Structure 1
Amino acid sequence: MKVNQLKAGVILTYIQLIVGNIISIIYTPIMLRILGQNEYGLYNLSSSTISYLGLLSFGFGSAYIRYYSKYKVENNKNEIKKLNGMFITVYSVIAIVALIAGSVLILNVETIFKNGLTVSEINKSRILMSFMVFNLAISFPTSVFTSYITANEKFLFQKILGTVQTILNPFVMLPVLLMGYKSVGMVIATTVITLIYSGLNMWYCLKKLKMKFTFGKFNLSLMKEITIFSSYIFLNMIVDQINWNVDRFLLGMFKGTGAVAIYGIGSQFNTYYLNFSTAVSGVFIPKVNRMVTKSDDNKVLTELFTKVGRIQFIILSLIMSGFIFFGPYFIKIFAGEGYELAYPVALLLMIPVTVPLIQNLGIEIQKAKNMHKFRSILYFLIAIGNLFISIPLCKTYGIIGCAIGTSSTMILGNCILMNWYYHKKVGLDILYFWKSIAEFIPGLIIPIFSGITMSFIGINSISRFLGMGVIYIVVFSISIYKFSMNDYERELFRGPLLKIKAKLLSRQGGQAYDKNS
């Protein structure tokens, strides 16, 4: 059943991503045109600013899964109940702190953005941030229930609920936008949807999974251990906030909401890219923790690390190469005129992050081994470097300057130094990993050649864009399958197709039998 949950979790995650991206492709252009570039930029800026309050979670979510897995292996139900009670208590306190900190931030919006925003934009941003702070505060205690579902590997419920939320979101947002409520209406609708989603997660944990709590027995020694473990994850969170949000914050300070909107579109494509990678690795988090707890065999971990990395590379190389060849026209029809710079921004963010994305299972291996201290400190130092580099680049070169600052620091930290650490300290065989990834080179030659050819031909209509896109996907899939995939990957690719074929033949056989009868 757990194997089925893992497979179903990956498949449903990709269904959710594909459905979500299709909906986004249809919904976002409408939203952009209703809101306008400046108001979209204001919404984006407000969201990025409030996201810094997410740091108050201190990375406790990863710690919960780690300690839950430990107690589950030991079959210690009492400790699990204490863990649940402790996390609910801690996150409730954090929610109160978030409300207070958010209120202080909202009162000082004018001081922070007086050089980049108009008076009306400052007033509207206060309204947007108020709802966003409330939304964030509610998410802290309810995140314990989401972590509990993940720790129990109940991916079917989790992903189905997420897919339904993804589908319903635009059907709620569009009427709100069309009625003229714009960004304020959007953030109110988002809060309502989040409350419903969180309530369903709570119901599932309490009624279906029989989640139990023990309050009043606060384990200070365990809390200290969890705090030490989470402190380095907290540093990672700071890094992510700097790398993915500081550019919009700086652009809001120095260049205005229009620049934030353009950068936001480029960053949105990078977010899609990130999600497609974590869809695979995310469902393996509990398994990695169990493997480390039971044996901590580096050879077995390297094999899993490489197996997942190869699958991620297949998916990401298709997305990246396709975006390189078809991205400019896609952004033109997606966002409209005035967003051309979103293409180089997206590339500058996506290309260097490809390496850590195909290795992101290594992050979970580090956490399970309690060896994530180095990565956290390294990334923190590099993120600070990113901040100091991006400030002058933002003032001088604007949108592109911010993207260059983030890109250059990610190459140093993610691509070079972390591979050294994985190999020398964590115990993963990185040479074996990259040798295995290099096996994809023969399968990429034909798709790259076909993509260059299509670029020379040119894309000047939606029908040509769709036609060439389908051709490219088919060429890529056949070439990778024929020249690069191993037997395990071919079976993953071929298995669902054979099952569909078998079902169709079975139905045809049943219909033929009925007719003969």
Structure 2
Amino acid sequence: MSSHKQIKIGAIISYLTLAFNILAGIIYTPWMIRHIGMSNYGLYILVNSFISYFLMDFGLGQAIARYISKYRAEQNQTKINQLLGITSKLYLGINTAIFVILIVLYFFIENIFVKLNATEIVLFKEVYLIAGAFSLISFPFLTLDGVLIAYEKFIVLKSCEIISKVATIGLMIFAILMGYQLYALILVNAIVGLSIIVIKTTYLYRQTTIRVAFSYSDSTLLKEIFSFSIWTTVIAIAQRLLINIAPVILGIVSGTSQIAIFSIAIIIEGYIWTLAHALNGLFLPKVTQLHNLENNVEEVTKLMIKVGRFQLFLMGLVFIGIITLGKPFIQLWMGTQFSDAYLVMLFLVLPGFITLTQEIAQTYLVVVNELKYRAIIFISSSIISVIISFVLAPTYGALGCGIGIFTATMLCHVIGMNVIYHKILKINIVHFFTKCFSSFLFPLFLTLLFGYSISSFITINSWFLFIFAGILLSTFYLFVIWFLGLHKEEKTFIKATILNKLK
């Protein structure tokens, strides 16, 4: 099958997976928490969060995809086999180190998570052993996705993703109904994860000529791989320390109920991030082309404004919706015991009002090979977030972590990154904000007032009233944005796009 068709079908499967994840999350998550309990759910999130810090591909997945693509273009299968031999041994070495770390940490669990009671500590240890064993078995196979990408096997890759999601939730529902509760969540994840590894490995063995050369060594190539992946690794670690470490902090200073509350805010933030990044990556070739032009920065800025305005148009309603209707949604979805997740969600999501409009600048940072600045920003924001979270979480729980993340994101990713865009990339940031936001601010403000008016006059205590309020808000938003926010050429583009879809 052609590369173009692989990408097209793979993209369709990706959107199906996204739709399934959102639908399953809305329906399955509250059902699951009701059956296993808030405390057990908090333990489940805590175990996964704690172990995840030690299990990442350290940027090697991207390096493998890059080098295999290069060697495939050269039709050098021997080099591919040698590359995989080197990286496989590297993964096994890292895996051994992680094994030792996880074993040592096991004996200090009571000292780390002092807010867990005796029963929760026992459960945590048992689940920790199961999840840790699966993670160590699966870690050396993290190369599989990079290989599938390099061989342009997008259909297999994306099919495995949706099969994994459907199978995991289906088996979890069955296991919970059979009374297994917390253990079911961990065991099902392990069983499905190992099955997917077997499917991917079998496919690559049968459909490609890959045969891993374990005996091969090349210190020069190993240095190249490390050089390529170092900043990606730094960013990946810092990203986890910014948000994903919050459950661990709460496990240390607060408790499982606050972990559960924070996890609900994380779920919603994840859905919004996924929707906002639907365009992510599509502009890399375009930005690369613009970089080669004489007036490249000016052209990149124009594209940044154009994409930023459409992102603001699409996501403006989402932001206003979660501000005005977010609390009744959480109460209807998860119950009143999760009401505190509303403020946490706002702190996690609202910085995206700025950052999500600047995807082109982030892409340009990659094109000009200045990713180290983003890595430094991520490290700084993670340190600030962790410090503030440890100070506030003992008193304010999940909200304290939310405040820490919000403060760090605003200082580093909003203010800091815009300084980098201006100083390093030479982008006229003032011009960007003026052109991108000026015509949208008034209609967004009107929609915000309208949303608060709806929530004041309508007591939203049912899904019917929530949907009704959502339709009213959406209709008003589209009306004021169309007449007060969008430029003439943007309206023309939207009309043409809709007409083409209807043909």
TM-score scaled by structure 1? Answer: 0.84
Change (3 A) 1:264 1:3: same
Matches within 5 A, 1:73-92: 79-92=79-92
Matches within 5 A, 1:395-406: 395-406=394-405
Which string of whole-angstrom CA distances, capped at 9 and with x for unpartnered residues, describes residues 204-234 of structure 1? 4444465565443333123213223322222
Matches within 5 A, 1:477-516: 477=478, 480=481, 483-484=485-486, 495=497, 498-499=500-501, 501-502=502-503
Quote the offset at 1:492 in angstroms.
7.4
In 2: Cα distance, 1:11 partner to 1:209 partner: 24
**Counterpart amino acid of 1:347?**
L
CA contact (8 A) 1:103 1:130 kept: no
Matches within 5 A, 1:256-335: 256-282=255-281, 287=285, 309-335=308-334
In 2: Cα distance, 1:412 partner to 1:189 partner: 40
> Is the counterpart of residue 136 in structure 1 residue 141 in structure 2?
no
User: Which shifted more, 364-373 or 336-345?
Assistant: 364-373
User: Which shifted more, 264-273 or 473-482?
Assistant: 473-482
> Is the counterpart of residue 190 in structure 1 residue 192 in structure 2?
no
Change (3 A) 1:496 1:413: same
CA contact (8 A) 2:330 2:339 kept: yes
Gaps of 5+ in 1: 503-517
Counterpart for residue 44 of structure 1: 45
Counterpart for residue 246 of structure 1: 245
Which string of whole-angstrom CA distances, capped at 9 and with x for unpartnered residues, describes residues 258-300 of structure 1? 1211122122222222222334315666x58986999996566
Counterpart for residue 27 of structure 2: 26
In 2: Cα distance, 1:71 partner to 1:267 partner: 40
Aligned residue pair count: 498
In 1: Cα distance, 2:12 partner to 2:434 partner: 27
Quote the offset at 1:467 in angstroms.
2.1
Which string of whole-angstrom CA distances, capped at 9 and with x for unpartnered residues, describes residues 411-468 of structure 1? 0110011122133324556456545532544664564354233222221221111222
User: Which shifted more, 3-12 or 192-201?
Assistant: 3-12
**Counterpart amino acid of 1:396?**
T
**Counterpart amino acid of 1:39?**
N
State the percentage of identical aligned residues: 28
Secondary structure in 2 matching 1:54: coil
CA contact (8 A) 2:381 2:413 kept: no
Secondary structure in 2 matching 1:338: helix
In 2: Cα distance, 1:174 partner to 1:90 partner: 38
Matches within 5 A, 1:381-460: 381-426=380-425, 430=429, 433-435=432-434, 437-438=436-437, 440-441=440-441, 444=444, 447-458=447-458, 459-460=460-461
In 2: Cα distance, 1:205 partner to 1:289 partner: 33
CA contact (8 A) 1:378 1:413 kept: yes
> Is the counterpart of residue 374 in structure 1 residue 370 in structure 2?
no
In 1: Cα distance, 2:139 partner to 2:310 partner: 32
In 1: Cα distance, 2:306 partner to 2:78 partner: 36
Secondary structure in 1 matching 2:461: coil
Change (3 A) 1:431 1:182: same
CA contact (8 A) 1:352 1:411 kept: yes
Q: Please tell me the root mean square deviation across aligned C-alpha atoms, in Å.
A: 3.4
Change (3 A) 1:494 1:16: farther
In 1: Cα distance, 2:343 partner to 2:407 partner: 14
CA contact (8 A) 1:443 1:480 kept: yes
Counterpart for residue 58 of structure 2: 58
**Counterpart amino acid of 1:335?**
M
Secondary structure in 2 matching 1:142: helix
Change (3 A) 1:33 1:241: same
Which string of whole-angstrom CA distances, capped at 9 and with x for unpartnered residues, describes residues 388-412 of structure 1? 2221212233332221112101101
Secondary structure in 2 matching 1:216: coil
CA contact (8 A) 1:46 1:129 kept: yes
In 2: Cα distance, 1:223 partner to 1:489 partner: 52
CA contact (8 A) 1:59 1:234 kept: yes
CA contact (8 A) 1:85 1:213 kept: yes
Counterpart for residue 511 of structure 1: none
CA contact (8 A) 1:276 1:315 kept: no
Change (3 A) 1:291 1:164: farther
Quote the offset at 1:144 in angstroms.
1.7
Change (3 A) 1:147 1:29: same
CA contact (8 A) 1:229 1:370 kept: no
Matches within 5 A, 1:114-193: 115-193=114-192
User: Which shifted more, 84-93 or 416-425?
Assistant: 84-93
User: Which shifted more, 469-478 or 103-112?
Assistant: 469-478
Change (3 A) 1:472 1:425: same
Change (3 A) 1:486 1:130: farther
In 1: Cα distance, 2:286 partner to 2:204 partner: 23
Change (3 A) 1:61 1:303: farther
CA contact (8 A) 1:66 1:368 kept: no
CA contact (8 A) 2:250 2:259 kept: yes
Quote the offset at 1:112 in angstroms.
1.1
